[in-house]
Amino acid sequence: MTRIPQMASFRALALGIVALATASCGTLNYTSDFSNNELFFADVPFRTKAPGDRQVFVTPLKDERGGAELPLHERGFPIRYGNDDFWERPVVEMFTEVLERHLTNSELFPAVTTQARAQDLILKPTLVLFTIGSKEAIAGSATFAEVGLRVQVLGPANEKGERPLWHDCAYGNRQMSEYQVKPVSPYRLIGRALQLTISKTLAGLDGSNVGRSHVPVEVVVMGGPEQKPATVEASGAK
């Protein structure tokens, strides 16, 4: 994915906002870590009304950002993008913590396991978008942030080790400020985009019934509603 410099000022702006906000609360937290700093991201208070009974194994988050060329101009004005250097830890590491924490706290599954047994589900997350930037115009600048997450869920394995694909959906959100002389930092907007993305993901999994063995599964697959077989070893995922 194309990256353009001159986004360093966003780091200073974001940290300045964090300093002001935390100082007013009496506790300073300058950590640029959206998994552990609520000034960047606050957990979604989602709890299912019908807790699941199928355990789930979550594969390592696949990072597929950068697959498409990003536009560099709009109506003759430049578009600038940020990168992961702002964050104190890798985005994939923080995103994984956020996702697994919400899968556990939502009670959609009784447990997130460290190994996939034949009767367990396998959830395969893919990070498609985690983009921040700014657009220039005569009226000033507008900042934006976008998150995209693809979630695939494989059902329990049969005697041949094959697992049906029960869920394959993309969830995401885009936030954008108004054009201003001093717009909000896009690193603050990314937290809101992540909140809504996680909320949509949990709601989608809840509605699919994949975590409930006593309820028919609502199979949702991008490109068609039918089940598609996928072969996965009982001890892990390929």
pLDDT at residue number 19: 43
Which amino acid is present at 54?
R
Residues 13 and 6 sit within 8 Å (Cβ to Cβ): no
pLDDT at residue number 229: 37
Structure-token pair, residue 79: 């578009």
Residues 225 and 171 sit within 8 Å (Cβ to Cβ): no
Class of domain 8-231: alpha beta
Domain residue extents for the chain:
8-231
Rg of the Cα atoms in the chain: 20
> pLDDT truncated to tens, each residue of the chain (238 aa)?
444 434 544 554 454 444 434 444 445 555 799 999 998 999 999 999 999 999 999 999 999 997 667 778 777 788 888 889 899 999 999 999 999 999 999 999 999 999 999 999 999 999 999 999 998 888 889 999 999 999 999 999 999 999 999 999 999 999 999 998 998 889 889 999 999 999 999 999 999 999 999 999 999 887 543 433 343 333 334 4
Which amino acid is present at 49?
K
Q: Cα(220)–Cα(107) distance, rounded to whole angstroms?
A: 20
Residues 121 and 230 sit within 8 Å (Cβ to Cβ): no
